[in-house]
Amino acid sequence: MKVRNKPNKSVSQFKRDMKLRYDAVCPNCDSRLSVCEKNSNTNIIRLNTVKLNVVNDYYCPSCKTRFDISSNYGRFTPAERELPQQTGIRHGVNMKAKALWMIFAMLPIALGVLFAFTVLAYMQDQYGYIPVVSGIVMTIPLLAFVYLAVLFFKKWRQLLVLYYELIENGLIINDRSGRHYYAWEDFRIVSYIPKYMNQQDIYIFDLNQRVFTLDSGIEDYRQLADKIVAQIRPTAILDISD
């Protein structure tokens, strides 16, 4: 199966493209390709998962080669490591983020109920009864409210189970697909983006199997990032200067 990557045209398009780009395989060594900012200085390796309107390249940390991101590449299939029996320090989603997404999930429901009562009250006031047309008028907006509520509720459920667990030999990530273990030698590149778009700083970690980010939505994310960097410093590419 081939992956074709097109230029970014919108945020949604960017996300769809990036999801595909994370799974591209190196044509030289079959490693997973990293998405990095295009730079005339080939010694600068900077990951990109958040910046729009930035020209990207593929980079293979294994064979240290850059590739044109617009070309066709095979799909990379990650190999899962066996979960160790160790337990460690967990960093989950902070309460502020959980509460915010809960509000997002409840808001469409509240707006839908308010909209329904407003339409019904108007119809009854104008006509003295509630005609069938009022139900038709309310159907599409109510479906839209329900759809948004379901999307936000799913996101909220994902945040409830997400955590990062530091153990002696690596990191365990628990997400909606389950628990996954990554040894320290799996970490290839880390980039630090300070105050991007006036938001909190972001750490991007590129691994043999995947890519993930740490930001202010995670409890003590800076301390977590510092502990990971301390472990991978001897072997990984570090792009963490301010």
Alpha-carbon torsion (13, 146, 94, 208), positive or negative: negative
Model pTM score: 0.69
Query: Please, which pLDDT band fits residue 96 given cuts at 50, 70 and 90?
Result: low
Fold type of domain 89-93+162-239: PH-domain like (2.30.29)
CB 145 within 8 A of CB 112: yes
Which residues are CB-contacts of 186 (< 8 A; sequence separation ≥ 6)?
81, 170, 207, 208, 209
CA proximity to 22, closest of 198, 208, 151: 208
Q: Mind listing the pLDDT tens digit for each residue in 36-55?
A: 988 877 778 889 877 767 88
Output the pLDDT for position 20: 46
- Identify the residue with better confidence: 180 or 99: 180
Q: Mind listing the pLDDT tens digit for each residue in 20-39?
A: 456 899 999 999 999 998 88
Question: Whole-angstrom Cα distance, residue 56 to residue 38?
Answer: 5
198: left (phi over 0), alpha (psi -120 to 50) or beta: left
Which residues are CB-contacts of 95 (< 8 A; sequence separation ≥ 6)?
none
- The helix (run of H) or strand (run of E) holding residue 137 is helix 132-161
